[in-house]
Chain A
Amino acid sequence: MNKKEEINRQTEELFTENEWQSNRLLCIIMFGYALFLFIFMLSSYMGLISLTPGMMINACLIDAIIIMISSVYGFFFGNKGIHIKYLLMLVLIIGVNVTHFCLTVFSMFFLMGPIVISTKYYNRKFTLITAAANWVFLIAGCTANIILEKNFAAMRLFHRYQGIEIWGFPKDAIMYRLIPETVVMLILLIICLNISESGRRLVRRQAEIGYNALEMKNEIDTAVEIQESVIPEKKFITSGNEIQITAAMKPAREAAGDFYDYFMADENTLAIITADVSDKGLSAAMFMMSAINTLRFAIKTGKDIGQAFSEVNRVLAEDNPGCIFVTVWAGLIDIRTGVGKYANAGHTFPIIKHSDGEIEVLTNNPDTFIGVFDDFEINTHVFKLRKDDIIVLYTDGVTDSMNPAGETFGDRRLREVIKTTEGGTDELCDSIIRKTEEFSDNEHQFDDKTLLLARVNSDCKPDKYEWVYNVSDIDIEHVIDNTDLILNAVSCPDNVRRLIDTAIDEILGNITEYAYENGQGAIAVKIEAGHNYIEMSFRDKGLPFNPLKTAEPLFEDLLQIGGYGIYLVKTIADETNYIYENGENILTFIKVWRSQ
């Protein structure tokens, strides 16, 4: 059924409903009217008021009884057909005209009754017919009046008593009764027709609005359904307790934009993701689906987290006229070592609660969100989860939760909650949700709240080595050989190993040549290696020098001295660090890779 048909159908339903209600109203009015007549007549009968000659009383009484019976019937059986209203209205019209005939006091008011009541039906045809019937009976009553008066003196007496001396000639009757009443009826008819029409239009418009709202609601429900169908379970725990995950998603009414995900990228690598899409509704949900599927696929096929993000951006930016964008935080962590890499495209900074209670925020220089720009650059960073550490990923709906005073929950309160809550991922997740809900105190939230908490209890102890050499007789080849042995032992992929070897050559070449003026001095090399990472530190007691501060080479004259070595080290490493402490230059270098 198309939209117009659907709206028409709904409008018809509304009008049918209105019809039964109007019938009921009509019956109530008729009943009331009949009751009034009854009382009036009874008073007249008992001589309490002197209103009308005897036969008028009887006529009115009969009138009242008929109306009363019709109204009761109509009230209980009034929904049996659309013609009932004509019957009822006919009874009423006859009724008011009889009254008009018998009583002249405020009878014009009652005379107009039927037309006014017919407006409630929002049916121009019905109003017209009612008016026509009413006018016909008016004429009939007027005619009857004239005829009766001509032939019955009592009638003349009655009207004189009423103070109306106009029945001598038909002309006066026409002039002073019929014409004014007709004019009033006409004016009323025009007004009521107008009301009927605008009322009907209003109802139709109402149906349209209602239908659109329903469509929108369906769209949002579909978006939420799609979302719910692709996200993993809210709780996950491995049999050996190596991985513990708790997630929560509290969508706001209108939005369907957040997303969380976790999965094993390969046998040893856990992926954790939260994302937030900029738009609302079905198209945003579809966009998010596309982003997530591309990201999942890229990660599962062995790509580095940075490469995966680039792939997602390429796919989305290709066809995104609406400029919808997605912010994503995704990390890949080796569950054996607890060491991993993450990338952050415009998303919030996750918070790690260390086992000693310390709070660490994973800040990084902001990288732009995904989906819009063709020239997309993403940086990857190293993060470590030691035993009993918990990492908290969240979307900005959590920190943006607002209280009635207009304050936001904020990063500080979030860190506070994380710091002070005891327990594992379940307890912490519940605590954060509860605290944000308490804070917002029933204030309507405009943004989805999504949380993903993970704990990785890695079991392996990394291999550690330390060697000390004298700069004068250090054999760089030998250091590289030893490192190769270590890297092969942890199954480091060949090409990663080669890059690490290159970095070692650069660093040691540098220290050997420049650290000590007299060519004598110690270099200490410390290595820590696990299944997916190596962390090396190089210490010397030579001239204080921060090689990382070396300016980037100009690339114009590659034969220039200096710059290239350290530049290569920076491009190879995932993280480098330098400090000068206790008379020592300490340079650290970390590389993390996806184990095959």
Chain B
Amino acid sequence: MMHGTENQDEQGDRSLHTPKGSASRAPGSEADAPLLRLVGIDKSFPGVHALKNVSLDVYAGEVHVILGQNGAGKSTLIKTLYGAYAADRGYIEIEGRRVAVARPADASALGIAVIFQEFSLIPYLDIAQNIFLGREAAFSRFGLVDSAAMHAAARTILDGLGLDYDTHAYAADLGVAQQQMVEIAKALSQNARVLVMDEPTAAISERESDRLFQTIARLTEKRVAIVYISHRMKEVQMLGDRITILRDGAVVTSVLRDQKSQAEMVGAMIGRPSGSQLARTPRSPGEPVLLARDVNTAKLSDISIEILAGEVVGLAGLVGSGRTEVVRALFGADPIASGEIALFGSRALATLDRRVRAGMALLPEDRKREGLALPLDVRDNATVASLWRSFTSGWFSPAKAERDTRGLIAQLGIAAHGTRQSVHTLSGGNQQKVVLAKWLAAGSRLFLLDEPTRGVDVGAKAEIYRLIDQLVDGGAGVVVISSELPELVQLCDRAYVMRDHRIVGHLAGDQLTERAILELAVHQ
């Protein structure tokens, strides 16, 4: 129901801000037609209307930033542009001509290149070989590759980007930022005219980011159009000639740089005034169940966190800010380099299995790979973490396991034919409930929930919220990671906000708002 009203809001908003093509022209761009146009793209998946009539104009030599929260439809949009998904409605134009992009190969042929967050370099080929992978024929002489010519060509491309990398270096020896640059070089060598970058700075340092921005500036000088996906306000305002904000699969607004303030953009991403959130009933937490002080790992710096019994604590931040790494370190899944973690008042619980037995539970982000044994049945999955507790002698009783599992199925309302149904045949929401059942059976008292409602339907979502309430009422401590800010604000008593692998803020009570979180998370 809420969705309906929100949509109407949006419609009004959009009609105000997207006068298609007329007022929006970048100062630097030519007065002629856009290089790339997406017109009225609509895409639905079962249960989700992922893209709603999205139109986008991208001009040569311009950086077009697409801004939006998780689930706003950015990645669906890219995949449609790249031919990985077929749009239900709408079409793509290049230089005014309608084109068909049915496969990634079509996109490449049209000069559209995408640099995903997962790179596609071959670790033990060198930079030149990677750039020209699959196109070595251009350098072949008598069946042998003219290595010198290939390296020279690679050199030219890298020089054009102002990169001094040794073209003989293996991709495996490059850092993330360097790999990204090689991906860019690879795209350019294929004469890409539109370069899509999916959160390119998510995994690289600030100095490396500066390098990337310089490269982007060079590319725009060469009339390459950049479609730049990001959450980071600083980058958006620095780079973006044109900024399009997506929310819930629809274009909220499309503006030129400086037409909107950062606050206005954050507001547009959230989509409703920040006062409209539901009132939380204040809880009265008890003793600390977890105390982490100055924890450092390979991926985290100085993490200090306190979780009390009977409260829900949020862990907010952008994707890649280190939230998952924090819960993994607390759980004992990743080694910590320094710092201390006290669980239920004890520092002695060093290994993961001892922490589980002490009452710690992790609901991983990727439940299929890390939470469940998909080919096994509900009973196997629901009992795996509590075998030590339910069968202290080491003897397993199928009858008891059966009883326990039925109790859990009833308690959580898992929609399964029975206890022996394979979990891979369950829906996402029911799979998630099986993971929760596993930890309820283990009698856990501290729950680390990493994106607990991702990929589950609305009904299951509400049940998961209700369950979290029950857990907390029963005296458990709960940590929730979520990219959905309304969810976080609604669920949590307080929240730590992360950025660049450290905790940058702590919000509680009335301070805990979507806007406050976003401002801390996106920085400046």
Asked if A and B are interacting partners, one says no
Chain A positions near chain B (C-beta within 8 angstroms): none
Chain B positions near chain A (C-beta within 8 angstroms): none
